[in-house]
Every structure is written in structure tokens, then in C-alpha cells.
Amino acid sequence: MSVCSLLVAGGRWRCFPVPLGSSLFQVIPNSYCRKKCTAPKKIIPNAAFCDEDTKDSGNELDKLFSSEQQASILHVLNTASNKELEAFRLLRGRKSVNIIEHREKFGPFQHLESLMNVPLFQYKTAIQVCNSILCPETEGKKRKFQDNRLLRKLIKPEIERERLKAVTSIVSIVFGTRRIAWAHLDRKLAVLDWQQNDCCQLMKGTYLSSVYLQKISSVISKIPTADFYVLEKIGLSIQNTSRFPLLLHFHIMEAMLYALLNKTFAQDGQHRVLSMNRNGVGKHFELMIGDTRTSGKELVKQLLTESVLKEDPRVVFPKEKIVRYRQMFSSTEQKRAEELYDSLLQAVAFYELAVFDTEP
């Protein structure tokens, strides 16, 4: 004898025979039951776990690691200084501070599960932190891979990291429809040269190559020598036909600069002219609103002020040139000389993102 029980499955009613005297839930197929969380028997970086906010998760944390592994992790958590904890990427910022404060208030960690009592630490985060403490080399390799991938999106063509790290000075070049500007900075972020040139006649007429060559050659004769010349790369869509003249102008300018500044490329095959993504620089300085980059004028003004007032400014303007640079900046405030501002910001971003690999 049996009764028929109806269950909703995939939006349809299905009938399952239920023997008399049996519980309905004893015969429901497993596919209709909630899957239980099972803790892995070995360390699995980035594993996803269910119910990571429940108290039971903390009890399971110790079971994931052997006694030797637990001892190693606890030793780091109980003895490392704040600076040593921040050497692990996942413990940077407030997390390392919280560990120190928890230690001072409650004493050494006795079990891994007590890590769950520290603010900002949930089950999955705790597992990832423990894994990074046990396998710092793996963590380092993973970060290096991510950094290289981001760098490839930011700067083209791809350059060996060794060459970037050995840079002593660069010239950052930004051009628009009316002017071309450049900033020459050394690796101490000292501004060695910073100026602009008008080129408003280039887009008038028939885009003669000879006219571009004459004008750009004149500009290049004023640009100082550096290890790399970094050009701003603007992403313009070719789908918008009304912008074709603008796109053509930028491509001609870029091609001319690549050819004229890469003077030794034919001999050694080494790129000295690079293109840097404009929006990547904007994100670094938090100048993006959606997909639109805002003016860097106020930020440059702040950098000029800090160079005078701060003992250790982000950008160093030489004392003998600071007055001239401030006057130049003031004279361009009404003209919206974005190329001038952007050339300086691009140079700073290049050093901080590609050479020093640090955030401000």
C-alpha cells in the first residue's frame, strides 16, 4: 500500500509513491534536498564553501589543516608584527591591525577557529589567509601573474619588467587637436622639464604627411632624451564616422612619434616608445566617472602646492623652476590645457604603476 505525494520540481508537479509508515522526506530524491557543506580534506586555495557565516564553519576550520600546519599558522598569527603580517597580501590594511588588536586584548590564538572572532574574517577569508601563510611563494607567483596581466592592459607594446625597473627617466607625451605637451621626470619623481607646444594648424587642410613631419620634428627637437617616451593612448571607436578626422589625426601623430623617437629600433629592436591607456591613468588618480575621465587640473594644482608645503611631496618640482611652473599653470587655467596636466599625471602614474609597482 502506498500514497501518492506531489512535489514541485522544475516548475512541474511530480508524483512519488510513498510506502505507508514511511516519512515523506525519506523517499524524496537527493536532487531535491539542500546539499550539505563538506570541508575539504586538504588545502584548496580559493575553494567555495556554503554557509561560511555560520558558527559551525569556525569549528570546521581546524579540521582542514594538519597539526603541523596549524602550529605554523598560529606561530605567524601570534608572533608576527603588523609589518610582517602585511607582507601577506590578504592581510594588508585593517585585517593585520585587527589581528594585532585581538592578540593584545584576548591573548595568543589557541586555535585557528578563533580567527573567526577577528573582525573582517569570515570562513572563506580565513581559509585563504591560512593558505597564503603556508604557501607564500604560491601567493607571490599568483600576484605576479595578476600584475603582469594588468600591466599588459595598461602599457603597450609589452616590455620586460627588468627594463622598466631600471628606468632612470621618462618623457610623458600627450597630444590633442591643438597642442602637444610633455613632462620629463626622473625616478625620484622630480620634474626636469614640463612644457607644451601649439599645433592647431595640423587638422586644417588635407592632412599632408609633410606638414605633420615638419611640425612634429620641430617639437621633438625640444624634447629631452630619456629611457622611454610614453604616449597617451586614447580609445576612440571607429564606429562613430563623425570622429574619423579626429581618429586619423591621432593615428598620424602616434605613428610619427613612434617612428621619430624610436631612433635605434632598426639596430637593436628595442622599443623606447610606449603607449599608456588613458583611462588606466584616470582610474589610478580616481578621475573616472563611469567611462568618462574628468579634468586633472585640480590634482596638478594640488601637486604643485604640496611640492612647496610638504617635506616629502609626491612630485618634486625643483625650487629654481617652481615659480615658472606655477606661472605656466596659472596662464593655462582659462584655456583648459588638459594636455599639459595629463602629461604630468601620466608620468607619475607610469612610475607608480609600472616602475615602483605601488599605490600612492
DSSP helix/strand/coil, 34: coil
Asked if residue 18 has pLDDT above 60, the reply is: no
What share of residues in the chain are helix, strand, coil (percent, to 5)? 50, 15, 35
Q: Is 186's pLDDT higher than 80? A: yes
Mean model confidence pLDDT for the chain: 80
Checking if the pLDDT of 56 tops 60, the result is no
φ, ψ (nearest 5 deg) of residue 182: -145, 155
Looking only at the bridges linking them, the beta strands covering 179-186 and 191-198 are antiparallel
At 200, the pLDDT band (50, 70, 90 cuts) reads low
Q: Is residue 182 classed as helix, strand or coil in its secondary structure? A: strand
Res 57: pLDDT: 54
Specify the range with the lowest mean pLDDT, choosing from 14-28, 57-71, 245-259, 339-353: 14-28
Residue 226 grid cell: 630619456
C-alpha cell at 336: 583648459
Query: What is the structure's pLDDT at 205?
Result: 65
- For residue 21, what are the contacts with CB-CB under 8 A and spacing of at least 6? none
Q: What is the pLDDT of residues 272-312, one digit of tens each?
A: 999 999 999 999 999 999 889 999 999 999 999 999 998 88
Does pLDDT of 315 surpass 90?
Answer: yes
With a threshold of 0.85, does the pTM exceed it?
no
Other Cβ atoms closer than 10 A to 302: 13
Q: Kindly state the cell numbers that stand for 194.
A: 614640463
pLDDT in tens, 99-158: 999 999 999 999 898 898 998 888 888 888 888 888 875 555 555 555 566 777 889 998
From the CA atom positions of the chain, what is the Rg in Å? 30
Q: Tell which phi-psi region holds residue 182, choosing left (phi > 0), alpha (psi between -120 and 50) or beta.
A: beta
